């Protein structure tokens, strides 16, 4: 798994004097994308795991919005637990400018890392 974290966070909205750890925990706006490959294709299991993350909306076949207390890395690990080694999952936390993924190619992973903060 790879996790990309922002150094910016929610500092613009942080009350004076509070550290990030002291902030009240707000829900995160997560976008979950996945692709399942043969054999196995556990669509029901993956969908169940996505729905367990929080309040959700299915945007299209393999792309979901979830309002969740989970971080991107926690959500990716949760969904990945229902997947096979050849499958792919990519989770973006739009609230905290973070992303996590499993099983993306090295080329794609590196491209995302190189472009994230440009």
Say whether the peptide bond before residue 14 is cis (omega within 30 degrees of 0): no
Buried b (16+ CB within 10 A) or exposed e, 78-117: bbbebbeeebbbbbbbebbbbbbbbbbeeeeeeebeeeee
Q: What's the mean per-residue pLDDT of the chain? A: 86
User: Can you say whether residue 111 is alpha, beta or left, with left for phi > 0 and alpha for psi between -120 and 50 degrees?
Assistant: alpha
pLDDT band at 91 (very low <50, low <70, confident <90, very high): very high
Question: pLDDT (tens digit, 9 = 90+) per residue, 58-69?
Answer: 999 999 999 999
Q: Which of 50, 31, 53, 40 is nearest to 87 (CA)?
A: 40
pTM here is 0.81
Q: In which residue are the tokens 């996790």 written?
A: 3
Q: Break the chain into its structural domains and give their ranges.
A: 27-115
Q: Which two tokens stand for residue 7?
A: 């150094």
Question: Which CATH fold would you assign to the domain 27-115?
Answer: Alpha-Beta Plaits (3.30.70)
């Amino acid at each position: 798994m790879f996790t990309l974290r922002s150094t910016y966070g929610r500092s613009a909205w942080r009350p004076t004097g509070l550290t990030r750890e002291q902030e009240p925990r707000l829900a995160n706006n997560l976008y979950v994308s996945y692709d399942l490959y043969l054999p196995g294709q556990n669509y029901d299991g993956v969908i169940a795991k996505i729905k367990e993350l929080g309040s959700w909306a299915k945007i299209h076949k393999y792309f979901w919005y979830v309002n969740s207390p989970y971080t991107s890395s926690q959500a990716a690990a949760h969904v990945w637990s229902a997947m096979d080694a050849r499958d792919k999952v990519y989770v973006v936390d739009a609230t905290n400018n973070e992303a996590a993924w499993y099983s993306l190619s090295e080329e794609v992973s590196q491209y995302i890392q190189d472009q994230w903060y440009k």
